[in-house]
Amino acid sequence: MSDRRSLLSNGRVAYEGLRGQVEADRFVPGVRAEVAAVRTPLLDQPGGKRERELLLGQGFLALEEAEGHVFGCALRDGYVGYVAASDLREGPDRITHRVAAPRSYAKPIASLKAYEPVTDLSFGSLLRVTGEVGSWSEVALPGRAPLYLPSRHLAPVASVESDPIEVAARFLGTPYLWGGNSGFGIDCSGLVQAALHACGLECPGDSDQQQTRLGPALPAGTPPQRGDLLFWKGHVAFVADPETLLHANAWAMAVAYEPLAEALARIEGQGDGPVTAHLRPA
């Protein structure tokens, strides 16, 4: 209960389920909200550093608003922090689809060659489709007139993908961004979480949490196979095949493939040590 990333209390207010476990001035059930911005940082304190990101339509349990920020947790994984109040709205809305392409856009006219301004959208954004015009889906975004998004970029919100590596590979070339969770910038644990969530698997937000919660460590010397996770201190990577990693990393400054043997030597050579755990999520 000491990890503030998962402790839904800031001393002034706490989630009602923690009564008797933590000290707080008041205990509340929280209010369901949704992200109304394309993406918004989840901060460690109001005006503080970005720890993760939330995307359009994703849920947030709000406990307290102060200093222009709302304290609560992301409903996708329970990650606790602060979000700008202006980037939230009361929810839930009737979500029907998710963005399944790494990056997409919405525009006010359902036409390929229309030049109107576009709204960029990331993989994992959640939307309500209200109609179709040819190959375009009409979507309702908070506070905006109807917009249109390529239907091929969408998947039903309840659909589950089967291969985390195939999902992660859609992000190839995406810039590395510490604390990023979008198709416009993502870090190692954000990539793992996006891929596993798309496949219906629970996954926390940071690599140390993932190492602890995604299953028991395999015995040393277990041959790696597609879909395995390798961990170092502060880093996680997918095994794409027995000789290749797929990971968001600061060496490439992007999501990239890297030969496993070269990565092992490079990471240890730069002072980050050997692999600390080998897991096989299921």
125 exposure class (CB count in 10 Å sphere: 0-12, 13-18, 19+): buried
pLDDT band for 91, please (50, 70, 90 cuts): confident
SS3 121: strand
pLDDT at 38 over 80: yes
SS3 262: helix
Mean pLDDT to the nearest integer, 32-42: 96
Mean pLDDT to the nearest integer, 140-150: 88
Q: Which domains does the chain have, with CATH numbers?
A: 13-90 (2.30.30.40), 97-156 (2.30.30), 164-279 (3.90.1720.10)
pLDDT band for 141, please (50, 70, 90 cuts): confident
pLDDT tens for residues 151-170? 999 999 999 999 999 999 99
Mean pLDDT to the nearest integer, 56-79: 97
SS3 218: coil
pLDDT tens for residues 92-122? 678 999 999 999 999 999 999 888 889 999 9
pLDDT at 129 over 80: yes
Distance, CA of 38 to CA of 202 (rounded, Å): 23
Q: Residue 30: which region, alpha, beta or left (left: phi > 0; alpha: psi -120 to 50)?
A: left
Distance, CA of 19 to CA of 280 (rounded, Å): 36
Query: In which residue are the tokens 């880093």 written?
Result: 235
pLDDT of residue 277: 97
pLDDT of residue 144: 80
SS3 130: strand
The tokens for 282 are: 């299921």
Mean pLDDT to the nearest integer, 47-74: 97
pLDDT of residue 1: 56
Distance, CA of 150 to CA of 168 (rounded, Å): 21
CB 80 within 8 A of CB 72: yes
Distance, CA of 214 to CA of 216 (rounded, Å): 7
pLDDT at 15 over 90: yes
Element spanning 59, H or E: strand 59-66
Element spanning 258, H or E: strand 254-259
From the list 30, 155, 142, the residue with the least C-alpha distance to 102 is 155
Distance, CA of 39 to CA of 119 (rounded, Å): 11
pLDDT of residue 116: 82
pLDDT of residue 142: 79
pLDDT of residue 224: 97
